Amino acid sequence: MTNASGSQAKVILHLDMNSFFASVEQAHDPTLKGIPMAVAGNPKERRGILVTCSYEARALGIYTTMSVGEAKRICPQLVIVPPDHEKYRIASDAVFTILRTYTGLVEPVSIDEAYIDITDIGGLTNAVQIATQMQQRILHELDLSCSIGIAPNKFLAKTASDMKKPMGITILRKREVPDILWPLPVIEMHGIGKSTEKRLNGIDVFTIGDLAKADEILIKATLGKNGVRLQKRANGIDHRPVDPDAAEERKSVGSSTTLPIDETELNACLEIFKKLSMKVAQRLDKRQLAGTIVMIQIRTSDWHNQTRSRTVLNPIYKANDIYKEAADLFRRHWEGDPVRLLGITISNVIPMNELYEQLSIDNFERYANEAKMEELVKELEGKFGPNSVKRGIKER
């Protein structure tokens, strides 16, 4: 099959694991199958938050981000298990290993989703057959279910994979975009969150169709370059290739500084990390990136270099979050030697408009509180003027 230019049309799959954490727990413990169950932090505390739940639980009205107490009121017999991230990462690696037996053009996007370019191994003619075989292998070899979207580009493939869950296989063609996507509210489009929805609504853009047909200059003025990208995707246009090396090749963002004197005081070093965190956050914001690996660099007065890193579940980009991780790493690993240089680097970065956050067990409540705080800051600035409220970084 060829496109209008005469070249072979791309065929991209987006594979999305179904209720991944819950499914992995069920695969390890078959007694959890067929019953309402969920994975949650602090399962013994009713204030804990559900990170994911089985489809049996969802059928009862239970959903991710619901508190344990609320879920238990709906379904007293709901079984809640604590998370095991190492178990999930092993399962994720196994899924990607299966996908790579078909083609090397596999791009993991997160722990439970990936893009696969099958243009050269069957294209559209054999797309459903290939997708079905992948889905069945993952089910039979790993006892895990997934949904797969088939489309000519990444955006449409990701959209298609959401259309039928669990165990769905859906084809979405570009010519179907006006009928299928345009009537939907803009919040239903990948890459658009509450804040972007509000800004679009402010210029009378309420549906994906409104976005697709809106004046490009107005969209760019409202959302910048990202708005132009979103508008193209609303029209079914997305030229991003499937890049198997994307995770490894994505550049890191960092900042370091040589101290004017060799420093031996913990608080003085932490103050420097605060400033570095702000610089890194500004650079991430400028490039619209977020990352999952935090690394600190320590160079002592005798020129001994030490690096320590940590992988976080959710990509971070805010100064507060960067500082928290960097400061904790420093406290754990600094042995008191005089410090000559300090640095922070965020790596394994992804574009903000592709940010896919797996709700972590411990931080959902914190994020919810931060959202409330940001609303309060906006309200105060509305009364007292822009930049009238400054948020600091709390020292541990």
Q: Could you tell me which residues are annotated as the binding site for Mg(2+)?
A: 16, 112
227-248 core/surface letters (b: 16 or more CB in 10 A; e: else): bebbbebbbbbbebebebeeee
List, in order, residues 6 or more apart from 109 with CB less than 8 Å away. 115, 350, 354, 356
Q: Which of 113, 188, 265, 375 is catalytic?
A: 113
Instruction: Report the candidate in 278, 246, 209 with the shortest Cα–Cα distance to residue 105.
Output: 246
d(CA 21, CA 10): 31
Annotated binding-site residues read 16, 112
| Structure tokens, 169 | 């296989």
Q: Answer yes or no: 113 catalytic.
A: yes
d(CA 153, CA 115): 10
Given the structure tokens 């072979």, which residue do they identify? 8
Q: Which residues are catalytic?
A: 113
